[in-house]
Amino acid sequence: MWNRKHLLGLEELSREEIVEVLDRARTFRESCTSSARKHSTLAGKTVVMLFFEPSTRTTTSFTLAAQRLSADVVGFSNSGSSTTKGETLIDTVRNIEAMGVDILVIRHGASGAPHLAARHVDVSVVNAGDGTHEHPTQGLLDLYTIREKKGKFEGLKVVIVGDIAHSRVARSNIFGLRTLGAEVFVSGPATLVPEHITELGATVVKDFDEIVGEADVINVLRIQRERIEGTVLPSTAEYTRLFGLTRERERRMKPDAIVMHPGPINRGVEIAPEVADGSRSVILEQVTNGVAVRMAVLSMVVGK
Ligand code: CP
């Protein structure tokens, strides 16, 4: 039974808690596409979006989720805030809390920032991506999408390919998928696959071509250039040749295997445009499911 005030990561969630979120999200899923969109679940509550890093999908998705639950929503942009004048994260969140809010949705470039905030406020904190650590609602929407498409997790082979080292999406996926019983494989350039990833329960496959034909799900990640210092790849063309989900590799996938990507996509680099837009791709379904998953999370952290 869900009894958490915050959602900070998938590492700490039990199987039952994850399934409860996915089941709740399903009850909201229809309202993501139908005209009967509004629920009164969070009427009278205020949700503040504290995004210290750029975002298209997550910020829009959380905003729509909160609005469809009838919450009041306040946006916050780092560039226009007093953090540029030297205010600390703790002072920022305590000042916002003092205005009478209920949920802080935080994205931050520093791993652990939402956890730090949660220790200094009494309101609910939801992690919308912290550094290279976790992106729990992306992980949950990926799990939701896989469950809808495959109907199970046990026995599934999920391959995550790309920049594993800098990916909070990879970590949240690994935690969630392992908890639910899927096999997880990671593949990418040696410079972008940390050795310790095996300790999280993932198997490293150096040659992406070895696993392409066995996967039930391939989750493609972009190279997170904004988090990389120095050179980790010989060239973009070399990366695409060895680890890109090209049309040729797509043809070797199992007939019912699906292609996922958390976005933003670098077309022609980690994924061919024809594959991103092709019949196996569930990328836009992931985005739609994300609103329902975030509706579930926002309602659950305040005990609704
Ligand atoms: N998937 C994801 O987090 O996308 P945004 O950075 O656009 O929010």
Question: What pLDDT does 226 receive?
Answer: 74
pLDDT band at 115 (very low <50, low <70, confident <90, very high): very high
Instruction: Look at residue 125 and tell me whether its pLDDT is greater than 70.
Output: yes
Q: Which residues of 243-263 are buried (b: 16+ CB within 10 A; e: fewer)?
A: bbbbeebbeebeeebbbbbbb
Q: How far is the CA of 262 from the centre of ligand 1 (A)?
A: 7
pLDDT tens sequence across 155-212 = 999 999 999 999 999 999 999 999 999 999 999 999 999 999 999 999 999 999 999 9
Q: Which of 194-208, 225-239, 274-288 has the lowest mean pLDDT?
A: 225-239
pLDDT band at 34 (very low <50, low <70, confident <90, very high): low
121 CB burial (10 A radius; 0-12, 13-18, 19+) = middle
Instruction: Look at residue 103 and tell me whether its pLDDT is greater than 90.
Output: yes
Q: How far is the CA of 225 from the centre of ligand 1 (A)?
A: 14
49, 53, 56, 163: which to mutate for ligand 1, most atoms within 8 A of CB?
A: 56
Question: What pLDDT does 20 receive?
Answer: 98
Question: What pLDDT does 147 receive?
Answer: 98
Give domain 15-134+287-301's CATH architecture: 3-Layer(aba) Sandwich (3.40)
| CB proximity list for 55: less than 8 A, separation 6 or greater | 107, 128, 129
Measure CA 53 to chain center: 14
51, 134, 138, 283: which to mutate for ligand 1, most atoms within 8 A of CB?
A: 138
Instruction: Look at residue 215 and tell me whether its pLDDT is greater than 90.
Output: yes
Question: What pLDDT does 30 receive?
Answer: 82
Looking at ligand 1, which atom is closest to the CA of residue 60? Answer: 8
Q: How far is the CA of 50 from the centre of ligand 1 (A)?
A: 14
Question: What pLDDT does 32 receive?
Answer: 73
Return the number of other C-beta atoms located less than 10 Å from residue 98's C-beta.
9
Looking at ligand 1, which atom is closest to the CA of residue 56? Answer: 7
Say which CATH class 136-282 falls into: alpha beta
pLDDT tens sequence across 42-79 = 999 999 999 999 999 999 999 999 999 999 999 987 77
Residue range 98-124: average pLDDT? 98
Instruction: Look at residue 234 and tell me whether its pLDDT is greater than 80.
Output: no
Q: Is the minimum distance from the CB of 109 to ligand 1 under 6 angstroms?
A: no
Instruction: Look at residue 153 and tell me whether its pLDDT is greater than 90.
Output: yes
Taking CA atoms only, the protein residue closest to ligand 1 atom 3 is: 58
Q: Which of 37-46, 109-118, 211-220, 245-254 has the lowest mean pLDDT?
A: 37-46
Question: What pLDDT does 83 receive?
Answer: 81
Q: Crossing angle, helix 57-68 and helix 283-301, to 10 degrees?
A: 50
Contact 290, 61 (CB under 8 A): yes
Q: Which residues of 35-63 are buried (b: 16+ CB within 10 A; e: fewer)?
A: eeeebebbeebbbbbbbbbebebbbebbb
Q: How far is the CA of 226 from the centre of ligand 1 (A)?
A: 14
Instruction: Please report the DSSP string for 214-246 in residue order.
Output: T-SEEEE----GGG--S---S-HHHHHHHH-B-
49, 52, 57, 106: which to mutate for ligand 1, most atoms within 8 A of CB?
A: 57
Question: What pLDDT does 295 receive?
Answer: 97
Q: How far is the CA of 57 from the centre of ligand 1 (A)?
A: 5
- 161 strand-pairing partners: 187, 220
Q: How far is it, in rounded angstroms, from Cα 179 to Cα 153? A: 9
**Residue 193 DSSP code:** S
Q: How far is it, in rounded angstroms, from Cα 69 to Cα 292? A: 10
Contact 258, 149 (CB under 8 A): yes
Residue range 125-144: average pLDDT? 98
* Predicted TM-score (pTM) above 0.85: yes
Taking CA atoms only, the protein residue closest to ligand 1 atom 5 is: 55
Taking CA atoms only, the protein residue closest to ligand 1 atom 4 is: 57
Q: How far is it, in rounded angstroms, from Cα 298 to Cα 102? A: 10
Question: What pLDDT does 199 receive?
Answer: 97
Q: How far is the CA of 107 from the centre of ligand 1 (A)?
A: 10
Of 144, 146, 139, 125, whose CA–CA distance to 171 is shortest? 139
**Residue 267 DSSP code:** B
Round the average pLDDT of the chain to a whole number and report it.
95
Q: Where are the domains of the chain?
A: 15-134+287-301, 136-282
Instruction: Look at residue 35 and tell me whether its pLDDT is greater than 70.
Output: no
Fold agreement (15-134+287-301, 136-282): yes
Q: Is the minimum distance from the CB of 60 to ligand 1 under 6 angstroms?
A: no
**Residue 256 DSSP code:** T
Taking CA atoms only, the protein residue closest to ligand 1 atom 1 is: 262
pLDDT band at 280 (very low <50, low <70, confident <90, very high): very high
Return the number of other C-beta atoms located less than 10 Å from residue 181's C-beta.
12
Contact 55, 128 (CB under 8 A): yes
Residue range 109-121: average pLDDT? 98
Longest dimension (CA), the chain: 56
Question: What pLDDT does 81 receive?
Answer: 79
**Residue 67 DSSP code:** H
Q: Is the minimum distance from the CB of 56 to ligand 1 under 6 angstroms?
A: yes
